[in-house]
Structures are given as C-alpha cells and as structure tokens.
Amino acid sequence: MTVTITSVLASIVCVAVLRWAWGVLNWVWFRPKRVERCLRQQGFAGKPYRVLVGDWKESSDMLQEARTKPIGLSDAILPRVMPFLHQMVKDYGIQHVTLYFLSCRFSLAT
C-alpha cells in the first residue's frame, strides 16, 4: 500500500473539517448548555436554551405587542417598556437567566 500526497492531503483536510465542526458544535450547543446547567445548580431559573436565537424572538415579539397597546397615565411603565423582563420576573422570580443568542443575561430584580 502506497501513501500518496493526495491521500495525505485528504486526511489533513478531513481532520481540519472535523476539528472545525467540533468547535462550532461546542460554541453553539455544548458551552451554552454547560453554562445553563451550572446556573440552574446555583439557583437561577429561566427558559431552556434554544440554539442561536435564545429568548430574543419572544422578547422582540412581546416588545412589539406592548408598543401597539395604548397606555394610560395610571398604568405601570415596566410592562410597557420591558415586557419580557416583567414576564420573566412574574414567571421565574427575582433571580432568573435570559439567554440571548449565545450569551446569558442575569437579572436580579428588586
């Protein structure tokens, strides 16, 4: 069996592609899930991680909906300005985690 330059280059390219794919998978899935698990162990609540978008879509939809409703002078401002934060505090309490794309945001509301 002879080893040719083509087979060596194909092997190197294959290893490079697999290494790159593993890095992307680690960046997009494994690291955020590991951070989420650690935060849950520390007592933070929140919605589970969703690949790439996280809570961004729901947050933007809630903000768009809140801006279309009229607000009275005696109404609370927080549900209008930050509806997603207001809903997260109602659902998960004062300490919660919000996941945007590949990063976490901690909220310690008072």
The answer to whether the pTM exceeds 0.75 is: no
Say if residue 75's pLDDT is above 80: yes
Task: Name residue 45's beta-bridge partners.
Answer: 96
Which is nearest to 102 in space by CA: 33, 16, 2? 33
Kindly calculate the radius of gyration of the chain based on its CA atoms and give it in whole angstroms. 22
Say if residue 35's pLDDT is above 80: yes
In the prediction, which pLDDT does 21 show? 98
Q: What does the pLDDT look like over 52-70, one tens digit per residue?
A: 777 888 889 999 999 898 8
Say if residue 1's pLDDT is above 70: no
In the prediction, which pLDDT does 43 show? 87
Mean pLDDT of the residues in the chain? 87
Strands 103-108 and 45-46: unpaired
